[in-house]
Structure 1
Amino acid sequence: MNITNKNLAAYQYLIESIEQSPIQHVLFVSSSSVYQNINDWVTEDNKLEDENSILFQIENAFKASSGFKTSVIRFSGLIGPNRHPGRFFRGGKQVKQGDTPVNLIHLADCIGIINSIIEQDAWGQTFNGCADTHPIKRDFYPFASEQLGYPVPEFIEEESLHYKIVNNAKVKQVLNYRFIYPDLMQIPQEAYE
């Protein structure tokens, strides 16, 4: 299930409907944005989620249901076909927080992780979905822009940095998942087509 509406009441209604159905498992696609910016690594188990995040509250509502088992996948920023990161800052858009790491994942790995959870019956768990590497924006976005022949984006200098680095170790350990595109700086151009 992947619904972009962040209306908690609507999700509560959906949960009640699922509980009255024969559905036994739900795979909830969430976002690594539920983690606070702590300027360090975040994992599924270190309790660094933003308690005020509606998305985090929705995750918890699904996990609290006794009528079915829910696994949550917290994907980072999506890249892949029609989502080349070199296009993210074209047209003169400026990049903030240039010295902070990126948290991205290719669509092929999103699908691979989803399939692994289903095939391995890995229900009742939370997983992060993010590539292995986390280059800083100041290195990554010019590289991605140059791949497409676009001008390198400009960076806004900021004194205070706010970031998180999403750890993907659990998905590799529990699911034995091997990333198709683990290194963001090594993704071939055809992977974006």
Structure 2
Amino acid sequence: MTTTTLSKPPAWLRPAVLDRAEQVAIVLLWIVLASRVELSGNPWAPLLLISETAVAVFTLIRRPTDKLSMDLGDWLLAMTATCAGLLVLPGVALVPALIPLGVFLAVAGNLIQAWAKLVLRRSFGVAPANRGVKISGPYRFVRHPMYAGYALVHLAVMILMFHPMNIVIYAIGWWAQILRLLAEERLLAQDADYAAYMQTVRWRLIPGLF
């Protein structure tokens, strides 16, 4: 009789190791962004740093989990979507008359993100994972309010800190973000509580549209 032994994945492919690698990458990119903001001379650049600092902080304090997607495609999408915001270039405000709108969008987007992150607390993550189902606060209105907040901040950046490269960066970032969102829901839908939540809150990102 032969016994089949399931081989263990290599150490670098274990969820705990990938979790730490993700944290290191986010912190390093945040340091690069912080130095870029400091040198930009754009008075509105700190509004961008507020948003991305929250991402870095919550990535560091989140709780570990074994319910983490091990699909390489999911990881690439998650890192692309997250890194896009950390790679933007603080440019200039092309239309001064739109500055109040840009400031409003930046403040609103950061507040929505903060609300969502405070509800998630240590359940926050970058790669698709189940760190606990949260359905209170802004999650009563859309299933991914944090991403909605990101969208508002990114619009604000285009108004207050326009740079041609940011168009490319955000286009790639949001392509990855939407696919990442769908990957997250495929994983979370395996949880009965989240499956029921999806039936209650219909819209993922924008009420009435998506």
- Shorter-chain TM-score bucket reads under 0.3
TM-score with structure 2 setting the length: 0.23
More strand by share: 1
More helix by share: 2
TM-score with structure 1 setting the length: 0.24
